[in-house]
């Protein structure tokens, strides 16, 4: 859906993208730190035909890049923290 612009559910080419925004909505972000002080945000892709939605982490977000670099450096991507 992100790459093709076609909904995998209804097969329509009626997909819109809503870029990540740093608002107060908890449904648009994922917590990266144990104490909830660091977040990264999602880009949303929504089919205007059937309402199906997919979310992807915004890979350009600096918090995401910093968190991922630290996890790769520590070799701790496979942790119990979700």
Please list, in sequence order, all residues whose beta carbon lies within 8 angstroms of the beta carbon of residue 47, skipping any fewer than 6 positions away: 1, 7, 9, 10, 12, 14, 15, 53
Ranges of each domain in the chain:
15-74
Residue that is written with structure tokens 């450096």 in the block: 73
- In this predicted model, what pLDDT tens digit does every residue of 32-72 receive, in sequence order? 777 777 788 888 999 999 999 999 988 888 888 888 888 88
Closest CA to 47 of 4, 5, 3: 5
User: Where does the chain have alpha helices with state H?
Assistant: 62-74
In contact, 32 and 39? CB cutoff 8 Å: yes
pLDDT recorded at residue 51: 95
- In this predicted model, what pLDDT tens digit does every residue of 34-44 receive, in sequence order? 777 778 888 89
Confirm whether pTM is higher than 0.75.
no
């Amino acid at each position: 859906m992100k790459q093709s612009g076609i909904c995998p559910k209804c097969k329509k080419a009626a997909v819109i993208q809503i870029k990540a925004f740093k608002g107060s909505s908890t449904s648009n972000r994922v917590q990266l730190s144990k104490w909830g002080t660091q977040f990264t945000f999602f880009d949303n892709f929504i089919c205007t035909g059937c309402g199906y939605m997919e979310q992807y982490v915004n890979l350009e977000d600096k918090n995401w890049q910093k968190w991922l670099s630290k996890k790769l450096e520590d070799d701790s991507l496979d942790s119990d923290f979700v």
